Amino acid sequence: MYRCDMKSMEDKIKTFSKFGDAGHGGITRYALSEEDKMARAEWLRRMEAIGATIEMDDLANMYATLPGSEPGLKRIVMGSHCDSVKNGGNYDGILGVMSAMEVLETVVRENIPHRHPLTAMIFTNEEGSEFPPCMMCSGTMAHDYMPERFRDNFEYSKMMASKSILTPDVTFGERLAAFPYKGDKANRMSPEKYMALFETHIEQGPILEDAGKDIGVVTCVLGQMLYRVKFYGFAAHAGTFPMKKRHDAFHAAAEALCYLHEEIDKLGYEDLVYTTGEVVIHPCVNTVIPDFFDFSIDVRHENPEVLNKVREILFSLEKREWQKCKCEVVLGWNRDTVYWDKKLVGYVREAVEELGISHMDINSGAGHDAQYISYMIPTTMIFAPSDKGLSHCEVEHTSVEQCTNAATVMLNAVLKADKDQ
């Protein structure tokens, strides 16, 4: 078994944490920003230093490749994104970029034999913080391989027209045109040139920490559905309208929300998650009884049967009135569970077992670039634990040892895949 180097990983974490450092522990590093440029320049410097061949594509995805010993074989690629959310942490995304660098550096340092070319990469704009949507460039690359119903979300022309949420007169296309790290569309990842993708990422949840495990062998990205639950009451004057005659849409929604929690919890699935994060209320005036209240509900589980049971509970809300208000449940969108390639998942599991690192199978509740790439080539993921499960915030943390372990597992899993054609 080969092992990655803790000192080298520590140096990378410290260095990349500077690019976008806001001065209180985390970073803000939007895609195609000055901070993104700094991170890519550093990545480029380090990858050139080990003699990797650098390629960039038209979406500013970057690839650093070490040739394999057998000509004609496809590349095995490792990578993630280096952009962040606003006031995000030093691990989300960039850990996958650093781990891939660390794997290539270890391969060179230890002179590890490998048949396939090995590639470390950076995906552009995974977070979509300034230019939505999330996972924009992996989605655009995988466009032609996606199920029909997702394709429209990742049309190239639509992505180029995506407007900045900071300066709405600037589009992603314009920002990309001015960005230095670009190349040919021909350099995009494709099934013709690439055999498999490994993405290392932080868990962003507390499951590994709570179980006392150092590595998550990720098996899938959870199926997800988003609904809006709407309540229609009528507005009246806060001071003059008797309680008994009111149709209060907020009271209706509050009652229905409590009911949803009760009923969904009764299903008894510990690994089911659902979140009511977004709210619209009208007219939102303290002297007026609300005539409209709408909340989002995001539900995630691996098993479509379980999602169906939740869907049934949701639609049961429509069958009665809530505080005399009509209820309507409207689909936002849904996706099926995306399973990682079984063979690759097996390689990760074997590697972590052979290394003697504590581990467990886990699924990903969050979306990742790997999930779109999986429509194109065999794909899998490796999770490192997140302290207290916190992520997308400045206190986001994973120890250097855990980060290095994740890179080590990826290295050894990649070497197992390297034995395949």
Binding of residue 257 to a second copy (CB under 8 A)? yes
Options 105-113, 218-226, 371-379, 409-417: segment touching a second copy (CB under 8 A): 218-226
Please report where in the chains the tokens 């009760």 appear, as a residue. Answer: 262
The amino acid sitting at 75 is R
Binding of residue 369 to a second copy (CB under 8 A)? no
Options 65-73, 100-108, 191-199, 257-265: segment touching a second copy (CB under 8 A): 257-265
Determine which residue in the list 137, 159, 253, 352 makes contact with a second copy, applying CB under 8 A: 253
Binding residues for Zn(2+): 81, 92, 127, 201, 392
Taking the CA atoms of residue 158, residue 159, residue 161 and residue 165 in that order, the dihedral angle to the nearest 10 degrees is: 130
How far from the centroid of its chain's Cα atoms is residue 245's Cα?
47
Binding of residue 254 to a second copy (CB under 8 A)? yes
Tell me whether strands 279-282 and 194-202 are parallel, antiparallel or unpaired.
Answer: unpaired
Binding of residue 266 to a second copy (CB under 8 A)? no
Contacts of 185 (CB under 8 A, 6+ apart): 57, 58
For the segment 380-399, give every residue that binds a second copy (CB under 8 A). Answer: 389-393
State which residue, 109 or 392, has the beta carbon closest to a second copy. Answer: 392
Determine which residue in the list 157, 243, 266, 305 makes contact with a second copy, applying CB under 8 A: 243
State which residue, 1 or 393, has the beta carbon closest to a second copy. Answer: 393
Binding of residue 274 to a second copy (CB under 8 A)? yes
Selection from 120, 71, 113 nearest residue 99 by Cα: 120
CB-based contact 104:64 (threshold 8 Å): yes
Binding of residue 270 to a second copy (CB under 8 A)? yes
Binding residues: 81, 92, 127, 201, 392
- Quick note: the x/- pattern for a second copy over 21-40, rule CB under 8 A, is --------------------
Phi, psi of 68 (to 5 degrees): -95, 175
Find the DSSP H helices in 201-302: 207-211, 249-267
- Quick note: the x/- pattern for a second copy over 325-344, rule CB under 8 A, is -------x------------
Binding of residue 285 to a second copy (CB under 8 A)? yes
CB-based contact 183:54 (threshold 8 Å): no
Determine which residue in the list 105, 248, 302, 418 makes contact with a second copy, applying CB under 8 A: 248
Hey, is 70 helix, strand or coil? coil
Query: CA distances (Å), 410 to each of 8, 14, 205, in order?
Result: 16, 21, 20
Determine which residue in the list 41, 161, 177, 258 makes contact with a second copy, applying CB under 8 A: 258
**Beta carbon of residue 165, minimum distance to a second copy (angstroms, whole number):** 13
The amino acid sitting at 395 is V
Give the separation between CA 364 and CA 2, rounded to whole angstroms.
27
Phi, psi of 264 (to 5 degrees): -70, -40
The terminus-to-terminus CA distance of the chain in angstroms comes to 21
CB-based contact 340:197 (threshold 8 Å): no
**Beta carbon of residue 199, minimum distance to a second copy (angstroms, whole number):** 15
For the segment 294-313, give every residue that binds a second copy (CB under 8 A). Answer: 295-296, 298, 300
**Beta carbon of residue 38, minimum distance to a second copy (angstroms, whole number):** 27
For the segment 198-217, give every residue that binds a second copy (CB under 8 A). Answer: 203-207
Q: What is the DSSP string of 10-30?
A: HHHHHHHTTTTB-SSSSB---
**Beta carbon of residue 347, minimum distance to a second copy (angstroms, whole number):** 24
Under the rule (CB under 8 A), what is the footprint of a second copy? 203-207, 222, 224, 226, 235-245, 248, 250-251, 253-255, 257-258, 261, 265, 270-279, 281, 283-290, 295-296, 298, 300, 332, 364-367, 389-393
